[in-house]
Structure 1
Amino acid sequence: MTPDTIRPLFELTDDVVYMNCAAQGPAPKAAAEAGRRAVSRKSRPWEQERNGLSQEMARARELFAGFIGASGTDIALSTATSYAVAVAARNITLEPGQSVVVLESQFPSNLYAWQLLAERSGATMTVVPWPSDGDWTSAVLEHIGPETGLVTLPNVHWVDGGTLDLGPIADVAHAQGAAIFIDATQSIGVLPLDVARIDPDYVACSAYKWLLSPDQCGYLYVAPRRQHGEPVEHNHAARIGDGPMTLSPGYGRTFQPGAKRFDQGAADAMIHLPMAVTAMEQIAEWGVEAIASGIEPIVDRIADEAANRGWGVPPKPYRSPHFIGLTLPEPPMPDLAERLAADNVHVSLRSGRVRVAPYLFNRVEEVEILFAALDRYVRSAA
């Protein structure tokens, strides 16, 4: 599995340096073709192919569950992490005086609902400051105590790829009786996550990044102990009707088993599901560990080139293998990403850092092109 074998599977021309998967993962050609077939299916809904939606939903659950060591029955279908957070916030109870542990500069979708829950519950927010040594795990552990009611974290910081070891964090959180919510949007599809080891209450993932899926595709793992909670919305597909809709209104008080009760309305997206399933099947075929090991040499080379210029990067022991944030010697020009894009080099600017997120299709030589473009707009501190 090399860039030369992977690149033809994507719509990438030789002049494009795309290192922005933390913002938007490109759909493989096979997934795009599945989407075109799905659009055709949408234009002819009277044909039998529409009847495959329920099987596609089940397959999507199974594939996502396979990436985290769960069962398909534990997975709800959502469109965004913010929806998954809303489900969890509906079902997690905080007491006055308890605290919610979050990271400094945590992604907004995994912050706003918890701020509101804390305010309504008389709880407080505990913000873990950015560690100067890059060791988020130790920093978080220092902020979990008897007052902690909820630990809601990513396992990779979205700004610069700094990692958290959720195993020991979960051990301490469980010992304090705290609930655990994980936003794994920036890792699932590239890094393993073992729910049996961590035993979280919820794990959310928006799939349009590292799962190479369309926008409005997402998943929510719901621990079995949480599967009798209340959904955010009450749609007909989440319940078992007392009678068939063909002969009755289809009303019913009994929820679907497992996590299905938390499915977002219109989860049976006729166009999105085939694309998401095809993309995840490709990822499963490559293997998560192989994907990470394939990207890591590119990230390491990026880190070396940045360090040679005196730019800051997360230390190797505390950074992810698949993307990295570069801290420049002075604040970057606001339109730096647009200037680079004009040079056909695609990265993101996030919270003052240049976030570079390559994939298996990137060649080592592209790192030189990236830094040649950066050098036109950023001075060296070395």
Structure 2
Amino acid sequence: MPLSCQRDKFDLPEGLAYFNTASQSPCLRSSFEAGERGMRRKLHPWAPERANLATEMEQCRALFGGLIGASADNVAFCFSTSYGIATAAANLRLEPGKDVLMLGGQFPSNVYAWIRLARIAGGDVRLVRRGEDFDWTGPVLESLDDGVGIVALPNCHWSDGALVDLEAVSAECRRRGIPLVVDATQSLAARPFELDKVPADFIVASGYKWLLCPDTMGFMYVAPKHHKGMPLELNQQARTGAPSMESGDGIGGELKPSARRFDMGAADSMVHMPMSVKALEQIAEWTPTAIHAYLTGLVDAVAERAAERGLKHPPKDRRIGHFIGLYRETPWPEGLAEKMAARGAHICFRNNALRVSPYLFNDMGDVEKLFSALDAELA
């Protein structure tokens, strides 16, 4: 069923047009209220309600897994994308002399760990150059040869939404036996993702953007074949069979035989968990398919109005549906984002692109407000 504008579920002031979800999403009212309950739980940690944390953690795992078609056993909690990518890099072997394949200008959180791994292995990082008309998929597939040992990619470029066809890439990775690591931070929950079509080794997503979760909350899918790997941290919660700390020192047992062994320390946050449960429950109710369809309508309208003004952007068949980057031949004026914000239209600049990233609290009236502000500042 098609979605309508969901602005009432957020706390946006009248007249504000917020187009910066790709940087930071506002949280849902329901998630904020859950966070308040979590804060009261922190205020009174002796209250029995604290015992709900274990259940909330498993709810989060199951809800996130449901977004990609994975079981809760395959989901770990991580602070950030860089934490998840570092975990992947620590558990994948790069054969001596082979390369890690990435996009040129890829988001840094999915770069630095691979540079380090390549140096240790005596290999290199291979940065794919974007092709004509914002084509990433063709150049990626052309670069996938026997010299590649790991492929680490996003679903789209973070600065402008230019698409990477992960289904095609994963098929070639499987054919060649090359591990695939996906940074899905800028796509998961705003666009459908099917694990059976993109069977990656690791999928990582920070929660504070399209997943509507609080900061320092992220998720990592770990394929079952890596469930015997080594986590970045070693803590008691990641173990099974350990002695009780109520009657002993808690030391012993074995790492859990699932992705839970990779959980970040202090994953059982009394505030973050209930907020994330509410956010993921709402996304599951809306569905990524319906979210993407609604946002695609807004982004297509942005693209049309941008083209009327001579602004360049990825064409429809080569961009993700839920956000877009706009370019112009001359540099953007300094301070333009702040000046537009003063007019009630919030965007950001990333890698020379004016990035427009709407969400379900936006409508076509907001698109008009956005371009009214832009026209006024560029006049």
Q: What range describes the TM-score normalised by the shorter chain of this pair?
A: over 0.9
Structure 1 residue matching 2:260: 3-state secondary structure: helix
Task: Say if 2:46 is the partner of 1:46.
Answer: yes
* Structure 2, unaligned runs of 5 or more: none
> How far apart, CA to CA, are the structure 1 residues paired with 2:287 and 2:200?
23
Name the counterpart of 1:159.
159
> How far apart, CA to CA, are the structure 2 residues paired with 1:144 and 1:114?
16
> How far apart, CA to CA, are the structure 2 residues paired with 1:257 and 1:150?
25
Structure 1 residue matching 2:300: 3-state secondary structure: helix
Q: Match for 1:290: what amino acid?
A: A
Task: Say if 2:184 is the partner of 1:184.
Answer: yes
TM-score relative to the length of structure 1: 0.97
> How far apart, CA to CA, are the structure 2 residues paired with 1:115 and 1:377?
41
Q: How many residues align?
A: 378
CA shift digits 1:326-346 (9 cap, x unpaired): 012212134221121111111
Structure 1 residue matching 2:133: 3-state secondary structure: coil
> How far apart, CA to CA, are the structure 1 residues paired with 2:369 and 2:126?
41
> How far apart, CA to CA, are the structure 2 residues paired with 1:358 and 1:53?
32
> How far apart, CA to CA, are the structure 1 residues paired with 2:348 and 2:67?
26
TM-superposed deviation, 1:96: 2.1
TM-superposed deviation, 1:199: 1.4
TM-superposed deviation, 1:376: 2.7
Name the counterpart of 2:172.
172
> How far apart, CA to CA, are the structure 2 residues paired with 1:158 and 1:242?
42
TM-superposed deviation, 1:372: 1.4
Q: Match for 1:84: what amino acid?
A: G
- Confirm or deny: 8 A CA contact 1:22 1:357 kept in the other structure: yes
TM-superposed deviation, 1:180: 0.6
- Confirm or deny: 8 A CA contact 1:128 1:140 kept in the other structure: yes
- Confirm or deny: 8 A CA contact 2:163 2:318 kept in the other structure: yes
Name the counterpart of 1:67.
67
> How far apart, CA to CA, are the structure 1 residues paired with 2:54 and 2:127?
42
> Which is worse superposed, 60-69 or 188-197?
188-197
- Confirm or deny: 8 A CA contact 1:78 1:84 kept in the other structure: yes
Task: Say if 2:57 is the partner of 1:57.
Answer: yes
Name the counterpart of 1:255.
255
Q: CA RMSD in A?
A: 1.2
TM-superposed deviation, 1:3: 4.7
Structure 2 residue matching 1:245: 3-state secondary structure: coil
Name the counterpart of 2:228.
228
Name the counterpart of 1:343.
343
Structure 2 residue matching 1:153: 3-state secondary structure: strand
Name the counterpart of 2:15.
15
> How far apart, CA to CA, are the structure 2 residues paired with 1:376 and 1:15?
17
Name the counterpart of 1:29.
29
Task: Say if 2:357 is the partner of 1:357.
Answer: yes
* Structure 1, unaligned runs of 5 or more: none
- Confirm or deny: 8 A CA contact 1:3 1:361 kept in the other structure: no
> How far apart, CA to CA, are the structure 2 residues paired with 1:260 and 1:2?
34
> How far apart, CA to CA, are the structure 2 residues paired with 1:167 and 1:49?
43
The structure 1 segments of at least 4 consecutive aligned residues displaced by more than 4 Å after TM superposition are: 1-4
TM-score relative to the length of structure 2: 0.97
Task: Say if 2:272 is the partner of 1:303.
Answer: no
Q: Match for 1:117: what amino acid?
A: L
- Confirm or deny: 8 A CA contact 1:336 1:349 kept in the other structure: no
TM-superposed deviation, 1:241: 4.2
CA shift digits 1:307-326 (9 cap, x unpaired): 11111110100111110000
> How far apart, CA to CA, are the structure 2 residues paired with 1:242 and 1:355?
49
Q: Match for 1:97: what amino acid?
A: G
Name the counterpart of 1:293.
293
Quote the sequence identity (%).
Answer: 44
- Confirm or deny: 8 A CA contact 2:189 2:211 kept in the other structure: yes
- The 5-angstrom pairing of residues 257-336 of structure 1 reads 257-336=257-336
Q: Match for 1:366: what amino acid?
A: D
> How far apart, CA to CA, are the structure 2 residues paired with 1:189 and 1:306?
26
> How far apart, CA to CA, are the structure 1 residues paired with 2:269 and 2:330?
45
Structure 2 residue matching 1:56: 3-state secondary structure: helix
> How far apart, CA to CA, are the structure 1 residues paired with 2:114 and 2:291?
33
- Confirm or deny: 8 A CA contact 2:236 2:242 kept in the other structure: no
Structure 1 residue matching 2:153: 3-state secondary structure: strand
> How far apart, CA to CA, are the structure 1 residues paired with 2:113 and 2:334?
29
TM-superposed deviation, 1:351: 0.4
Name the counterpart of 1:366.
366
